[in-house]
Amino acid sequence: MRLVAISDIHINEHDDNGLTCFRNFSTHALVKDATHIALMGDIFDLVAGNHHEYDKRWEEVFKIIKSFCEQGKVVYFAEGNHDMHLKRLLSRISSGWHSHATHLVHIEDYLVIDFLGKKVHLSHGDELNVHDVTYLKYKKFIKKFPMGLIADFILPISVLDYLGHKASKKSRKYGSTRFNEEDVRFKFREGLSKYFNTGIDIVVGGHSHVTDNYLNGNLTYLNNGYPPKSNKFIVIDNEGPRLETLV
Ligand SMILES: [Mn+2]
Protein backbone atom coordinates (compact mmCIF):
# COMPACT_ATOMS: atom_id res chain seq x y z
CA MET A 1 0.00 0.00 0.00
CA ARG A 2 1.32 3.38 -0.97
CA LEU A 3 -0.35 6.76 -1.26
CA VAL A 4 1.31 9.41 -3.40
CA ALA A 5 0.05 12.99 -3.53
CA ILE A 6 0.73 16.10 -5.55
CA SER A 7 -0.85 19.57 -5.66
CA ASP A 8 -0.31 23.05 -7.06
CA ILE A 9 1.25 22.18 -10.39
CA HIS A 10 -1.03 24.75 -12.09
CA ILE A 11 -1.24 23.14 -15.53
CA ASN A 12 -1.72 26.04 -17.92
CA GLU A 13 -2.07 26.26 -21.70
CA HIS A 14 0.52 29.01 -21.91
CA ASP A 15 3.42 27.29 -20.21
CA ASP A 16 4.07 23.57 -20.03
CA ASN A 17 5.95 23.35 -16.71
CA GLY A 18 2.85 22.04 -14.96
CA LEU A 19 2.16 19.45 -17.63
CA THR A 20 5.81 18.31 -17.58
CA CYS A 21 5.51 17.95 -13.81
CA PHE A 22 2.36 15.85 -14.15
CA ARG A 23 4.02 13.60 -16.77
CA ASN A 24 7.07 13.15 -14.53
CA PHE A 25 4.82 12.37 -11.57
CA SER A 26 2.81 9.81 -13.54
CA THR A 27 5.91 7.89 -14.69
CA HIS A 28 7.77 7.98 -11.36
CA ALA A 29 8.59 4.49 -10.02
CA LEU A 30 6.93 5.25 -6.65
CA VAL A 31 3.77 6.39 -8.45
CA LYS A 32 3.68 3.48 -10.89
CA ASP A 33 3.23 0.92 -8.13
CA ALA A 34 1.23 3.15 -5.77
CA THR A 35 -2.22 1.96 -4.73
CA HIS A 36 -3.65 5.44 -4.05
CA ILE A 37 -3.05 8.68 -5.97
CA ALA A 38 -4.13 11.99 -4.47
CA LEU A 39 -4.37 15.04 -6.73
CA MET A 40 -4.80 17.74 -4.14
CA GLY A 41 -6.02 20.86 -5.89
CA ASP A 42 -4.65 23.55 -8.21
CA ILE A 43 -3.61 20.75 -10.54
CA PHE A 44 -5.08 23.02 -13.21
CA ASP A 45 -4.45 26.76 -13.32
CA LEU A 46 -8.07 27.30 -14.31
CA VAL A 47 -10.82 24.75 -14.57
CA ALA A 48 -14.28 25.63 -13.32
CA GLY A 49 -17.53 23.88 -14.07
CA ASN A 50 -18.58 21.19 -16.49
CA HIS A 51 -17.43 22.62 -19.84
CA HIS A 52 -16.87 20.34 -22.83
CA GLU A 53 -13.97 22.54 -23.97
CA TYR A 54 -11.90 21.04 -21.14
CA ASP A 55 -12.19 17.49 -22.56
CA LYS A 56 -9.96 18.21 -25.55
CA ARG A 57 -7.80 20.84 -23.84
CA TRP A 58 -6.79 18.51 -21.00
CA GLU A 59 -7.21 15.21 -22.81
CA GLU A 60 -3.70 14.02 -21.87
CA VAL A 61 -4.28 14.65 -18.15
CA PHE A 62 -7.65 12.86 -18.16
CA LYS A 63 -6.10 9.94 -20.06
CA ILE A 64 -3.39 9.56 -17.40
CA ILE A 65 -6.03 9.66 -14.65
CA LYS A 66 -8.04 7.06 -16.55
CA SER A 67 -5.02 4.76 -16.86
CA PHE A 68 -4.40 5.04 -13.09
CA CYS A 69 -8.00 3.94 -12.52
CA GLU A 70 -7.70 1.08 -15.01
CA GLN A 71 -4.66 -0.17 -13.09
CA GLY A 72 -6.93 -0.46 -10.06
CA LYS A 73 -5.52 2.55 -8.23
CA VAL A 74 -7.82 4.81 -6.24
CA VAL A 75 -7.53 8.37 -7.52
CA TYR A 76 -8.63 11.24 -5.27
CA PHE A 77 -9.21 14.54 -7.04
CA ALA A 78 -9.58 17.39 -4.56
CA GLU A 79 -10.73 20.82 -5.62
CA GLY A 80 -8.36 23.74 -5.18
CA ASN A 81 -9.00 27.43 -5.59
CA HIS A 82 -7.95 27.33 -9.26
CA ASP A 83 -9.93 24.20 -10.12
CA MET A 84 -13.40 23.94 -8.63
CA HIS A 85 -17.00 22.93 -9.21
CA LEU A 86 -15.68 19.71 -10.74
CA LYS A 87 -18.31 17.21 -9.61
CA ARG A 88 -20.22 17.11 -12.90
CA LEU A 89 -17.09 17.41 -15.04
CA LEU A 90 -15.36 14.46 -13.35
CA SER A 91 -18.45 12.27 -13.42
CA ARG A 92 -19.02 13.05 -17.12
CA ILE A 93 -15.35 12.45 -18.06
CA SER A 94 -15.32 9.11 -16.23
CA SER A 95 -18.78 7.99 -17.39
CA GLY A 96 -17.28 5.84 -20.17
CA TRP A 97 -14.75 4.14 -17.93
CA HIS A 98 -17.21 1.42 -16.86
CA SER A 99 -16.37 -0.12 -13.47
CA HIS A 100 -13.09 1.85 -13.31
CA ALA A 101 -15.07 5.08 -12.87
CA THR A 102 -15.66 4.15 -9.23
CA HIS A 103 -11.89 4.45 -8.64
CA LEU A 104 -12.07 8.21 -9.22
CA VAL A 105 -13.12 9.97 -6.01
CA HIS A 106 -14.04 13.65 -6.15
CA ILE A 107 -13.20 15.62 -2.99
CA GLU A 108 -15.05 18.90 -2.85
CA ASP A 109 -13.62 20.04 0.46
CA TYR A 110 -11.72 17.40 2.43
CA LEU A 111 -11.62 13.67 3.12
CA VAL A 112 -10.20 11.71 6.06
CA ILE A 113 -9.05 8.20 5.17
CA ASP A 114 -7.63 5.30 7.18
CA PHE A 115 -4.33 4.41 5.60
CA LEU A 116 -1.76 1.96 7.00
CA GLY A 117 -3.19 2.43 10.47
CA LYS A 118 -3.07 6.24 10.29
CA LYS A 119 -5.84 8.80 9.89
CA VAL A 120 -4.86 10.92 6.89
CA HIS A 121 -6.55 14.27 6.18
CA LEU A 122 -6.64 15.09 2.47
CA SER A 123 -7.50 18.57 1.20
CA HIS A 124 -6.10 21.43 -0.87
CA GLY A 125 -4.76 22.83 2.41
CA ASP A 126 -5.97 26.41 2.10
CA GLU A 127 -7.99 26.01 5.32
CA LEU A 128 -4.69 26.09 7.23
CA ASN A 129 -4.17 29.76 6.42
CA VAL A 130 -6.52 30.83 9.20
CA HIS A 131 -5.20 34.43 9.17
CA ASP A 132 -6.32 35.08 5.61
CA VAL A 133 -9.92 35.97 6.51
CA THR A 134 -10.62 37.73 3.20
CA TYR A 135 -9.53 34.67 1.22
CA LEU A 136 -11.53 32.24 3.37
CA LYS A 137 -14.66 34.39 2.97
CA TYR A 138 -14.14 34.50 -0.79
CA LYS A 139 -13.64 30.73 -0.88
CA LYS A 140 -16.82 30.12 1.13
CA PHE A 141 -18.78 32.34 -1.25
CA ILE A 142 -17.37 30.90 -4.47
CA LYS A 143 -17.85 27.30 -3.33
CA LYS A 144 -21.44 27.56 -2.19
CA PHE A 145 -24.65 26.99 -4.08
CA PRO A 146 -25.48 28.28 -6.69
CA MET A 147 -21.95 29.17 -7.81
CA GLY A 148 -21.48 25.62 -9.12
CA LEU A 149 -24.53 25.96 -11.33
CA ILE A 150 -23.32 29.35 -12.55
CA ALA A 151 -19.91 27.87 -13.43
CA ASP A 152 -21.55 24.92 -15.16
CA PHE A 153 -24.37 26.56 -17.07
CA ILE A 154 -24.20 30.34 -17.13
CA LEU A 155 -20.61 31.54 -17.46
CA PRO A 156 -19.27 30.76 -20.92
CA ILE A 157 -15.77 29.27 -21.10
CA SER A 158 -14.41 32.45 -22.74
CA VAL A 159 -15.33 34.49 -19.66
CA LEU A 160 -13.85 31.86 -17.33
CA ASP A 161 -10.63 31.80 -19.38
CA TYR A 162 -10.41 35.59 -19.35
CA LEU A 163 -10.94 35.82 -15.57
CA GLY A 164 -8.45 33.00 -15.04
CA HIS A 165 -5.67 34.70 -16.98
CA LYS A 166 -6.21 37.91 -15.07
CA ALA A 167 -6.18 36.08 -11.73
CA SER A 168 -3.02 34.12 -12.42
CA LYS A 169 -1.20 37.21 -13.71
CA LYS A 170 -2.15 38.99 -10.51
CA SER A 171 -1.05 36.13 -8.25
CA ARG A 172 2.30 35.88 -10.05
CA LYS A 173 2.83 39.59 -9.46
CA TYR A 174 1.89 39.18 -5.81
CA GLY A 175 4.17 36.14 -5.54
CA SER A 176 7.23 37.98 -6.76
CA THR A 177 7.02 41.09 -4.61
CA ARG A 178 5.52 40.15 -1.25
CA PHE A 179 6.25 36.47 -0.78
CA ASN A 180 8.27 35.46 2.27
CA GLU A 181 8.65 31.68 2.47
CA GLU A 182 9.43 31.51 6.18
CA ASP A 183 6.42 33.68 7.10
CA VAL A 184 4.12 31.55 4.99
CA ARG A 185 5.51 28.28 6.40
CA PHE A 186 5.04 29.59 9.94
CA LYS A 187 1.42 30.65 9.27
CA PHE A 188 0.43 27.30 7.81
CA ARG A 189 2.07 25.47 10.74
CA GLU A 190 0.02 27.65 13.12
CA GLY A 191 -3.13 26.61 11.26
CA LEU A 192 -2.34 22.97 12.05
CA SER A 193 -3.57 23.48 15.61
CA LYS A 194 -7.14 22.93 14.38
CA TYR A 195 -6.20 19.26 13.94
CA PHE A 196 -4.75 18.76 17.44
CA ASN A 197 -6.70 16.16 19.44
CA THR A 198 -8.91 15.23 16.51
CA GLY A 199 -7.43 11.77 15.99
CA ILE A 200 -5.77 12.86 12.74
CA ASP A 201 -2.18 11.63 12.32
CA ILE A 202 -1.15 13.07 8.96
CA VAL A 203 -2.29 16.26 7.20
CA VAL A 204 -1.64 16.35 3.44
CA GLY A 205 -2.14 19.79 1.94
CA GLY A 206 -0.73 22.35 -0.46
CA HIS A 207 -1.84 25.83 -1.50
CA SER A 208 1.01 27.75 0.19
CA HIS A 209 3.58 26.89 -2.52
CA VAL A 210 6.06 26.38 0.34
CA THR A 211 7.33 22.86 1.02
CA ASP A 212 7.01 21.44 4.50
CA ASN A 213 7.56 18.13 6.29
CA TYR A 214 6.80 19.00 9.87
CA LEU A 215 6.16 16.94 12.97
CA ASN A 216 4.26 18.50 15.89
CA GLY A 217 3.64 15.98 18.67
CA ASN A 218 2.01 13.07 16.86
CA LEU A 219 0.80 15.15 13.93
CA THR A 220 2.73 15.11 10.64
CA TYR A 221 2.18 17.84 8.05
CA LEU A 222 3.29 17.38 4.45
CA ASN A 223 3.22 20.04 1.72
CA ASN A 224 4.91 19.61 -1.66
CA GLY A 225 5.17 23.37 -2.31
CA TYR A 226 5.03 24.40 -5.98
CA PRO A 227 6.35 21.29 -7.75
CA PRO A 228 7.49 23.05 -10.97
CA LYS A 229 10.04 24.72 -8.65
CA SER A 230 10.27 22.45 -5.58
CA ASN A 231 10.42 19.25 -7.65
CA LYS A 232 8.71 17.40 -4.77
CA PHE A 233 5.71 15.17 -4.21
CA ILE A 234 4.30 13.37 -1.16
CA VAL A 235 4.62 9.68 -0.31
CA ILE A 236 3.01 7.69 2.52
CA ASP A 237 3.92 4.00 2.70
CA ASN A 238 5.58 1.53 5.08
CA GLU A 239 8.69 3.71 5.12
CA GLY A 240 6.62 6.53 6.61
CA PRO A 241 5.26 9.89 5.43
CA ARG A 242 7.78 11.96 3.47
CA LEU A 243 8.56 14.21 0.50
CA GLU A 244 10.22 12.62 -2.53
CA THR A 245 11.96 14.18 -5.53
CA LEU A 246 10.08 14.13 -8.87
CA VAL A 247 13.08 13.90 -11.24
MN1 LIG B 1 -4.30 27.04 -4.03
- pLDDT (tens digit, 9 = 90+) per residue, 39-55? 999 999 999 999 999 99
- pLDDT (tens digit, 9 = 90+) per residue, 212-235? 999 999 999 999 999 999 999 999
Ligand 1 centroid, distance to 98 Cα (angstroms): 31
Ligand 1 centroid, distance to 42 Cα (angstroms): 5
- pLDDT (tens digit, 9 = 90+) per residue, 25-41? 999 999 999 999 999 99
CATH number at residue 16: 3.60.21.10
Ligand 1 centroid, distance to 58 Cα (angstroms): 19
Ligand 1 centroid, distance to 99 Cα (angstroms): 31
Phi-psi region of 239 (alpha: psi -120 to 50; beta: other; left: phi over 0): alpha
Domain housing 54: 3-245
Ligand 1 centroid, distance to 83 Cα (angstroms): 9
Domains contained in the chain, number: 1
Q: In the predicted model, is pLDDT for residue 174 greater than 60?
A: no
Ligand 1 centroid, distance to 184 Cα (angstroms): 13
Ligand 1 centroid, distance to 12 Cα (angstroms): 14
* Ligand 1 ion: Cβ-proximal residues, 5 Å cutoff: 42, 80-81, 207
* E strand spans, the chain: 3-6, 36-39, 47-48, 74-78, 83-84, 104-107, 110-115, 118-123, 202-204, 211-216, 219-224, 232-237, 240-245
pLDDT at 131: 87
pLDDT band at 178 (very low <50, low <70, confident <90, very high): low
Ligand 1 centroid, distance to 41 Cα (angstroms): 7
Average of pLDDT values for 152-176?
76
Give the global pTM: 0.93
